[in-house]
């Protein structure tokens, strides 16, 4: 074998029994001359190769040799001398394996794959030998393999711990304990490498056996230290270290290391039942040390920011690893840690942005920015954003868990939890505002260029497509974004886009405000341009989200204004009345009273009749047409020209502009009208009209009689309007309640609207009797509606100006 390995220039561990042909011939001749059976040849091979363990022969090869020997062995074939010889060999190999297992952390390091394979093959070989019948024959009365291996693992752990104690010996008991725990934890960290091998090839729980020995010996060590009566025993040293303030934190650091080392050591044990709480005799010492650490880390961290302008992000990670037995102290220290981190984060952001300003990124920037300064800008806001992201440590604080324990122990609501969360939210908001302000400074320098391109978009010839007219604007925006796209974090890149959008919106709004009353096509062009910009900034969901667009008040106002300005006059007027009808339906209280109206559409009548016989509130029962008593028909002319003083503007003759096909009737009363006279009462009357007026230009206005000194008037009047059965999409009856005044102009008391589509007999609305509607009176908002403002701006539009004048006449 020695000759073969020298020829191949390979290590002995690579040898797998491949001998030269000459060597095989010689061995064969010896076997023939000695009359050796295959069993004897296998025996010779095992004896020869197992004796080479000292030169590094492979365990996997020995496993193959041993397997061959065991498979060929038959009881009573070997004589006593052969069995004794084989027994000595097995005992020697078993002893070798035990020593190797005892020293396995050194012989088989976990950072080498071949070493782990070697110990796995050793266990295979040892298990095969110890559990074979051949071993029982040659080496009788031995312990089982599992018991032997478990005992060897225990001996190994015990020997390692004793060696670690010797290495950790120190005059300072705290330093000695810290060093000892460090060594033990290094051994425990290797459980993940060794345990699967022992379980797979030997069926032994390596981690549990080793940890039990470490835990037992550590308890013995700590107990002996606690029972010590020396002046410098461990417990006294720990207490003194937790109180010491004169060594620049060295003793505190040692205590924190011991705290972490103990927690790490406990993490390697098997999970315990949830209700099995362990006692911690030294918890108060570590609680005191952690409290001092919180104070010290605040001072050190601020100093570190000043020195290196770098935030130590490990604070919260270190805090998460700590465990404090007193929940009240845990709450207090959590608040202090969060406050410290937030103040440090704000301080850091202020520092880096102040540095950016000192580098030239301040004041009104020039349109051209040097590449170096732009890189500094990107680095600064990226750093600030990274600090903002470091504040996302809510889960690491375990506030919910602490709050539950706190509430159970103190029987108090955990109000501190809200304060801690607010502290983090305020810090996050502050950093975001600083980044946004810096980003806005970059975008503001392009305002003059952007304004020029907005003007080009608005006033380019109609023949020029919107896509072509807006291209110079999008080219400027795209060039700016391209210069920072590769450098900025995505969040900051979206911030730059949002800053551009917030700069453009006022420019577009200004363009609209400075050009009121133009043709709708002008505003349609701007609206289409804004839609293109929306798609540009949205960038197929890679840029500004649609939710952000929806939550931007200025953007929504601009799009609403453009949408209204590009709408036709007729649609705006209809929208005005639809808004008032919705406002009326949304009213929850009757501040100005209720108007009681009964309405019915009669398809048989072809005359317009005015009658004052019906009393609101009295039920009417008939089929097609309610019977009218013989009353005086009103054919009087107007007594004045103002709306308030006009009588019933209805005639019995057929209206010349509309076919006489049907009639519509109302009966009116009111309740709880607001007092508008000095006597605490009112003199109400009601003016009725069909709106929009452009849909019913020939229909007159109608007016009830004045009911003096009443807040609940009953008018006892019926009005009939001659209108076609097919009504427009928006058609209503407008009721205006006024207070009559002899000396001055009449006062407005309220108004109400009735949608004609709801009246029985019109369109698809079925019915053959009067239906009562209780309409809540409303007052128009003092603030001018957007649609009215647009209509007022259309000076050259007769319909728009007539509508605005009619509103002024009513109100």
Q: What would the pLDDT profile of 713-726 be if each residue is shown by its tens digit?
A: 988 788 888 888 78
Q: What is the dihedral of CA 34, 38, 43, 47, to 10 degrees?
A: 70
Q: Which of 77-81, 417-421, 594-598 has the lowest mean pLDDT?
A: 77-81
Query: Residue 271 has what DSSP assignment?
Result: P
644/791 same-domain check: yes
d(CA 711, CA 684): 8
Q: Which of 670, 661, 671 is nearest to 762 (CA)?
A: 661
Number of domains present in the structure of the chain: 5
On whether residue 801 sits in a domain, the answer given is yes
Contact by Cβ (8 Å): 526, 458: yes
Using the Cα atoms of residue 502, residue 503, residue 507 and residue 510 in order, give the sign of their dihedral: positive
320/265 same-domain check: no
789/722 same-domain check: yes
708/607 same-domain check: yes
d(CA 669, CA 660): 28
On whether residue 73 sits in a domain, the answer given is yes
d(CA 387, CA 367): 29
- The count of other CB atoms within 10 Å of the CB of residue 742 is 6
419/453 same-domain check: no
**pLDDT, mean of residues 628-640:** 30
| Helix, strand and coil percent figures for the chain, each rounded to 5 | 60, 10, 35
726: left (phi over 0), alpha (psi -120 to 50) or beta: beta
Strands 714-721 and 663-671: antiparallel
d(CA 705, CA 693): 23
pLDDT at 5 over 70: no
573-632 pLDDT per residue, tens: 998 999 899 999 998 888 999 998 888 787 765 332 323 333 333 333 333 333 333 333
On whether residue 347 sits in a domain, the answer given is yes
Q: Which residue has the tokens 């908002």?
A: 781
| pLDDT score at 653 | 32
404/422 same-domain check: yes
d(CA 339, CA 533): 42
Rounded alpha-carbon distances, angstroms, from residue 540 to 545, 559, 643, 782: 9, 20, 57, 42
| pLDDT score at 245 | 64
756-771 pLDDT per residue, tens: 888 887 766 555 567 7
Q: Which of 179, 183, 158 is nearest to 168 (CA)?
A: 179
Strands 732-739 and 714-721: unpaired
On whether residue 147 sits in a domain, the answer given is no
| pLDDT score at 16 | 60
Give, in degrees to the nearest 5, the angle at Cα 414 between 408 and 419: 160
| pLDDT score at 69 | 85
Give, in degrees to the nearest 5, the angle at Cα 192 between 188 and 196: 125
d(CA 452, CA 448): 6
Contact by Cβ (8 Å): 564, 791: no
Domain boundary among 441, 458, 489: 441
d(CA 645, CA 638): 8
Contact by Cβ (8 Å): 59, 104: no
685/784 same-domain check: yes
Model confidence at 169, in pLDDT bands (50, 70, 90)? confident
Phi, psi angle pair for 520, to nearest 5°: -55, -25
Q: Could you tell me which residues are beta bridge partners of residue 611?
A: 718
Specify which of 3-17, 223-237, 655-669 reaches the highest per-range mean pLDDT. Answer: 223-237
d(CA 526, CA 511): 9
Q: Which of 142-146, 368-372, 445-449, 639-643 has the lowest mean pLDDT?
A: 639-643
On whether residue 277 sits in a domain, the answer given is no
672-711 pLDDT per residue, tens: 899 988 889 999 999 988 999 888 888 888 889 999 999 9
Model confidence at 636, in pLDDT bands (50, 70, 90)? very low
Q: Which residue has the tokens 């209204």?
A: 564
Contact by Cβ (8 Å): 616, 667: yes
| pLDDT score at 807 | 82
The whole-chain average pLDDT of the chain stands at 80
757 SS3 class: helix
Query: Residue 517 has what DSSP assignment?
Result: T
d(CA 524, CA 512): 11
| pLDDT score at 263 | 84
Q: What is the dihedral of CA 186, 189, 191, 192, to 10 degrees?
A: -150
226-258 pLDDT per residue, tens: 676 665 666 666 766 666 665 566 777 778 788
Greatest extent of the chain over all pairs of C-alpha atoms, in Å: 153
| pLDDT score at 318 | 77
User: Which tokens hold the place of 427?
Assistant: 């810090």
User: Which tokens hold the place of 785?
Assistant: 């509606």
Contact by Cβ (8 Å): 717, 668: yes
| pLDDT score at 327 | 86
| pLDDT score at 325 | 82
- Measured N-to-C along each axis, helices 113-130 and 59-72 cross at an angle, to the nearest 10 degrees, of 20
d(CA 484, CA 488): 6
pLDDT at 274 over 90: no
| pLDDT score at 494 | 96
pLDDT at 426 over 90: yes
User: Which tokens hold the place of 445?
Assistant: 């320098």
Domain boundary among 142, 174, 206: 142
On whether residue 571 sits in a domain, the answer given is no
Give, in degrees to the nearest 5, the angle at Cα 493 between 490 and 499: 145
Q: Could you tell me which residues are beta bridge partners of residue 597?
A: 668, 773
d(CA 395, CA 400): 9
User: Which tokens hold the place of 483?
Assistant: 């210069």
Q: Which of 67-81, 235-249, 427-441 has the lowest mean pLDDT?
A: 235-249
**pLDDT, mean of residues 206-214:** 91
**pLDDT, mean of residues 183-197:** 91
686/794 same-domain check: yes
On whether residue 226 sits in a domain, the answer given is yes
What CATH number is given to the structural domain containing 557?
1.20.58.1100
Q: Which of 156, 67, 60 is nearest to 117 (CA)?
A: 60
Helix (H) or strand (E) holding 669: strand 663-671
Question: What are the DSSP calls for 705-749, one per residue?
Answer: PP--S-SS-EEEEEEEE---SS--SS-EEEEEEEE--SSSPPEEE
Specify which of 232-246, 458-472, 771-785 reaches the highest per-range mean pLDDT. Answer: 458-472
Residue 530's domain comprises 446-566
Q: Which of 136-150, 267-281, 648-662, 747-761 has the lowest mean pLDDT?
A: 648-662
Contacts of 19 (CB under 8 A, 6+ apart): 1, 4, 27
Q: Which of 6-10, 261-265, 451-455, 503-507 has the lowest mean pLDDT?
A: 6-10
Contact by Cβ (8 Å): 277, 318: no
Burial of 473 (0-12, 13-18, 19+ CB in 10 A): buried
Give, in degrees to the nearest 5, the angle at Cα 779 between 773 and 785: 115
293 alpha-carbon distance from chain centroid: 32
Using the Cα atoms of residue 158, residue 159, residue 164 and residue 166 in order, give the sign of their dihedral: positive
| pLDDT score at 9 | 54
What CATH number is given to the structural domain containing 309?
1.10.357
Contact by Cβ (8 Å): 68, 45: yes
543/398 same-domain check: no
Q: Which residue has the tokens 């028909």?
A: 633
d(CA 286, CA 239): 9
What CATH number is given to the structural domain containing 643?
2.60.40.150
Phi, psi angle pair for 210, to nearest 5°: -65, -45
Give the strand order in the sheet containing 594-602.
Answer: 714-721, 663-671, 594-602, 771-776
Contact by Cβ (8 Å): 209, 156: no
d(CA 563, CA 531): 11
Q: Which of 781, 773, 770 is nearest to 755 (CA)?
A: 773
647/789 same-domain check: yes
**pLDDT, mean of residues 291-303:** 70
Give, in degrees to the nearest 5, the angle at Cα 217 between 214 and 218: 80
d(CA 227, CA 497): 70
On whether residue 113 sits in a domain, the answer given is yes
d(CA 113, CA 197): 12
d(CA 240, CA 218): 22
491/380 same-domain check: no
Q: Which of 658, 637, 647 is nearest to 702 (CA)?
A: 647
Model confidence at 407, in pLDDT bands (50, 70, 90)? confident
Contacts of 483 (CB under 8 A, 6+ apart): 374
436/452 same-domain check: no
Domain boundary among 241, 270, 299: 270
């Amino acid at each position: 074998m020695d000759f073969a390995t020298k020829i191949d220039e390979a290590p002995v561990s690579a040898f797998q029994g491949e001998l030269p042909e000459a060597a095989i011939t010689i061995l064969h001749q010896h076997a023939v001359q000695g009359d050796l059976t295959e069993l004897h040849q296998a025996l010779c091979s095992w004896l020869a190769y197992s004796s080479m363990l000292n030169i590094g022969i492979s365990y996997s090869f020995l496993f193959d040799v041993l397997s061959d020997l065991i498979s060929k062995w038959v009881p009573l074939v070997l004589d006593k001398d052969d069995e004794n010889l084989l027994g000595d060999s097995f005992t020697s190999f078993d002893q070798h394996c035990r020593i190797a297992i005892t020293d396995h952390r050194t012989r088989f390091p976990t950072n080498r794959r071949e070493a782990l394979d070697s110990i796995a093959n050793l266990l295979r070989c040892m298990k095969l030998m110890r559990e074979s019948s051949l071993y029982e024959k040659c080496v009788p009365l031995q312990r089982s393999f599992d018991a032997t291996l478990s005992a060897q693992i225990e001996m190994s752990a015990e020997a390692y711990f004793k060696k670690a104690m010797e290495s950790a010996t120190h005059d300072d008991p705290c330093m000695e304990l810290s060093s000892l725990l460090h060594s033990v934890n290094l051994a425990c960290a290797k459980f993940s490498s060794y345990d699967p091998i022992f379980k797979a090839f030997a069926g032994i729980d390596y981690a549990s056996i080793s940890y039990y020995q470490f835990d037992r010996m550590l308890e013995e060590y700590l107990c002996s230290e606690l029972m010590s009566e020396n002046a410098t025993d461990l417990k006294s040293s720990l207490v003194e270290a937790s109180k010491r303030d004169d060594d620049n934190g060295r003793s505190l650091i040692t205590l924190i290391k011991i705290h972490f080392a103990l927690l790490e050591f406990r993490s390697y044990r098997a999970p315990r039942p949830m209700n099995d709480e362990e006692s911690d005799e030294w918890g108060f010492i570590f609680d005191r040390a952690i409290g001092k650490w919180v104070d010290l880390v605040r001072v050190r961290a601020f100093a570190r920011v000043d020195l290196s302008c770098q935030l130590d992000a490990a604070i919260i990670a270190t805090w998460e690893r700590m465990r404090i037995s007193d929940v009240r102290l845990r709450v207090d220290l959590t608040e202090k840690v969060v406050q410290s981190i937030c103040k440090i984060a704000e301080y850091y952001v202020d520092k880096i942005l102040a540095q950016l300003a000192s580098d030239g990124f301040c004041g009104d920037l020039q349109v051209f920015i040097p590449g170096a300064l732009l890189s500094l800008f990107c680095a600064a806001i990226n750093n600030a954003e990274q600090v903002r992201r470091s504040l996302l440590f809510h889960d690491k604080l375990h506030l919910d868990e602490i709050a539950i324990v706190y509430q159970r122990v103190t029987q108090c609501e955990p109000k501190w939890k809200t304060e801690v969360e607010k502290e983090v939210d305020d810090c996050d908001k502050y950093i975001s505002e600083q980044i946004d302000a810096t980003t806005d400074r970059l975008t503001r320098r392009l305002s003059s260029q952007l304004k020029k391109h907005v003007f080009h978009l608005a006033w380019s010839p109609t023949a020029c497509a919107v896509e072509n007219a807006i291209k110079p604007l999008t080219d400027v925006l795209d060039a700016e974004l391209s210069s920072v796209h590769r450098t900025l974090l995505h969040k900051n890149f979206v911030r730059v886009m949002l800053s551009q959008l917030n700069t453009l919106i006022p420019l577009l709004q200004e363009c609209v405000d400075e050009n009121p009353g133009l043709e709708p096509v002008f505003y349609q062009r701007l609206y289409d341009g804004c839609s293109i910009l929306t798609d540009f900034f949205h960038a197929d969901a890679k840029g500004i989200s649609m939710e952000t667009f929806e939550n931007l008040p200025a953007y929504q106002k601009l799009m609403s204004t453009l949408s209204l300005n590009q709408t036709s006059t007729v649609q705006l007027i209809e929208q005005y009345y639809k808004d008032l009808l919705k406002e009326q339906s949304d009213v929850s209280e009757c501040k100005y009273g209720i108007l009681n109206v009964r309405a019915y559409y009669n398809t048989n009548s072809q005359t317009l009749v005015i009658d004052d016989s019906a009393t609101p509130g009295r039920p009417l029962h008939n089929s097609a047409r309610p019977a009218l008593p013989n009353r005086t028909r009103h054919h009087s002319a107007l007594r004045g020209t103002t709306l308030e003083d006009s009588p019933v503007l209805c005639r019995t003759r057929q209206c010349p502009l509309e076919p006489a096909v049907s009639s519509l009737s109302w009966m009116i009363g009111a309740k709880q009208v607001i007092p508008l006279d000095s006597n605490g009462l009112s003199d109400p009357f009601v003016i009725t009209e069909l709106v929009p007026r452009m849909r019913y230009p020939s229909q007159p206005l109608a007016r009830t009689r004045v009911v003096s000194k009443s807040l609940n008037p009953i008018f006892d009047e019926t009005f009939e309007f001659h209108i076609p059965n097919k009504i427009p999409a928006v058609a209503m009856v407008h009721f205006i309640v006024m207070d009559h005044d002899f000396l001055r102009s009449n006062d407005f008391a309220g108004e109400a609207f009735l949608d004609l589509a709801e009246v029985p007999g019109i369109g698809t609305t079925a019915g053959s009797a009067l239906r009562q509607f209780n309409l809540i009176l409303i007052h128009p908002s003092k603030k001018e509606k957007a649609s009215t403002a647009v209509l007022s701006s259309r000076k050259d539009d007769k319909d728009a100006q007539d509508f605005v004048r009619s509103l002024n006449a009513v109100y």
